[in-house]
Every structure is written in C-alpha cells, then in structure tokens.
Amino acid sequence: MRIARRFVMAIGLALPLAAFAQAELPVLRIGFQKSAVNLVVVKQQAMLEKQYPNTKVQWLEFPAGPQLLEALSVGAVEFGLTGDSPPVFAQAAGKDLLYVGVEPAKPLSSGVIAPAGSPLRTLADLKGKRVALQKGSSAHYLLVRALEKGGLQWGDITPIYLAPADARAAFEKGAVDAWAIWDPFYAATELALKPRVLTTGVGLSDNNSFYLASRPFVEKHPQVLQALFEELTRADAYVQTHRKEAAQFISDFSGLNLATVHLFISRRPPSPVGPIGPQVVANQQRVADAFHKLELIPRPVKVADIVWKPGSRAQLAQQ
C-alpha cells in the first residue's frame, strides 16, 4: 500500500486531491469490464461522482480488452483497464495510448479448460483440437504459453476466436474442444459446468492488469490520474475488508451469482494501483515478443516506448 501511495504522490505532483475540479474536465469516460473489480466498485458506489460532482463520469462496458482499447484509441473513452495482451496488439497496430498503472499479478484468475467428459487430460492433448479464445486477450497469451508447456506449436491447434459469451455457448454445445478464458467467466463456468482445468496461469502468465489512457488525456490531465488511482486503491482496500458487500456490488452489476463472485474474488490478490517498474515492463516485453515470434502481430514493439513515467512531461513530448 505504501508503494501505491508513493505512486499517487508522484502522479499528483503535489497537487491537492480536488484534481477533477481543478483540471476543468467536464466529462470523463471510463472503459471497464466485468473483471475490473476496483473499477466496478468505484462505479457501483459512485465514488468519483460523489467526490467530484463537477465532472460527469460516463461508464462504458466492454466484453474484453481489445474492444476497450479500440474505443480508447479512437477517442471514445479516456481511461480503462485490460489484461496483458490487448495493449501489445494495440501498440503493434499503431494505436496512440499509454500504460499508466498496473495491478499485481493474478495467475490463478485464468485457465485453459475442457469439458468434464472430455478425453483431453493434458496440454499435449490439445494437438489438433479447436480451442476457443478472445483474440488479443490475456487468455491468448496464456494459451500460447500453455501450448509451449505441452510441447506444441501454435499451428498444432485450430484457434476459434470468440468473445466470452459466444465462447461459453460454443463450449457448452461441444462446438470447441477447449477454452482459454479469464475470470469472472472462468469462475462462472467452473461452478456451472465443472470443467477439467488443464492449466491456470501459474508458472505461465502473470496475467497482469494494466490501466491505460489516451495520450491527450495524460498530457492534459496528469493530475486527474492522481484522483483516479486514489479512488481505485481505496476501492481495493474496501474489497479486501468488506468481501461480502463488495461481492454483492459486483453481483448486482454483472448479474453473476454470488458464489461465482466469491470464487472470482478469492483468487484475486490485494490489488492497489502501482507504478509500472522495470520488472513489469520486462514481463510485458516477453508477451510482445511471443506474439511477434508467432507472427500474430505485424511488427515488433518496444513496450517501454509507451510506458508513462509520472512527472516526466519531457518524456511525453519525446514519445
């Protein structure tokens, strides 16, 4: 928590917490997903709206990170949270966005699963099979690493690119042999269908969650990030100390049953917003390099090129 506070102080450049009002930001559009626990709690409790009544906060929900970052790149939202893979695909496509914060790794929160009665028992058994996944999502990288662990190449499977809701339907109908997916969709499927878990992200993918923002937003309103990260870190502390109430907020918002939400939250570590340090950048570069090696992105990318350094206006000007 001390790290998160230092990060907020660096971002704020010693500005007061009434940053929204001072920034003259009449509208703030935030992209989020069901998996974005801190954002969901901030939204459900109207934490930003109560603290900053002069700013109209608009919340836009997306099924996955790639769709959210597409909206961010065209100016439809200013700020949002995704997993590790979407920013790599966005950067490779020339989207103008910046990494501005990160939550701790969540390797237990995603998995590669097969139906309960499936003959698939190991990752090597995926050879020649149809595997559902959201293209460019964190599950995409998990599947790449899972295949490596199983001694397989990407070309050994048939990827079926589907958004989570469509993938769940295909999985239930037997239209795919396996599914790479993240929470809360993973937790909901575990409880409802009792699938066989071929692997989680442990030892394969850190499954980091990144906060990203448009470059114009960061350049014009760095102090607003201070307020955002303070509220998000406060929301995380609430989740850690009020699990029952937080689960109810998330259930009310998402339509997921409470058992699913409790499972989802139970494998999520404390997640205050922190800075994007060298180790996180190195991990993210491995994600980018893996996708380029497989020719799944059109060009190599240097992750550090779009990592915001709080307080460094010169860096923004040079990028």
8 A C-beta contact, residue 276 and residue 3: no
This prediction's pTM:
0.86
Residue bearing the bigger pLDDT, 25 or 207: 207
Q: Above 80 in pLDDT, residue 194? A: yes
Amino acid sitting at position 175: A
Predicted local confidence at residue 13, as pLDDT: 36
DSSP H/E element including 313: helix 313-318
HSE toward the beta carbon, residue 195, CA cutoff 13 A: 26
Tell me what the pLDDT averaged over the chain comes to.
89
- Average pLDDT rounded to a whole number, residues 136-152: 96
Q: Where in the chain is the domain with CATH 3.40.190.10?
A: 2-105+208-318, 107-200
Q: Give residue-wise pLDDT tens across range 2-40.
A: 444 444 434 333 344 455 555 567 899 999 998 899 999
CATH number of the 107-200 domain = 3.40.190.10
Distance CA 101, CA 310 (A): 10
- Measure the CA–CA gap between 265 and 244, rounded to whole angstroms: 10
Q: Give the alpha-carbon dihedral of 78, 95, 165, 102, to 10 degrees.
A: -60
CATH topology of domain 2-105+208-318: D-Maltodextrin-Binding Protein; domain 2 (3.40.190)
CA distances from 88 to 42, 215, 226, 268 (A): 27, 16, 25, 23
Spatial strand order of the sheet with 110-114 comes to: 158-161, 130-133, 178-182, 110-114, 196-200
- Over the stretch 83-120, which tens digit does the pLDDT of each residue have? 999 999 999 999 999 999 999 999 999 999 999 999 99
> Which residue type does 155 have?
G
Tokens linked to 167: 């993938």
What are the tokens at 189? 């499927």
Query: Strands across the sheet with 209-214, in order?
Result: 56-61, 27-32, 79-82, 209-214, 97-103
Q: Say if residues 141 and 84 touch (Cβ distance below 8 Å).
A: yes
Euclidean distance between CA atoms 314 and 104, whole angstroms: 28
| pLDDT tens, residue by residue, 36-82 | 999 999 998 898 888 888 889 999 999 999 999 999 999 999 999 99
**How many Å apart are CA 205 and CA 156, to the nearest integer?**
20
Beta carbons within 10 angstroms of residue 75's beta carbon: 12
85 phi-psi bin (left φ>0, alpha ψ -120 to 50, beta other): alpha
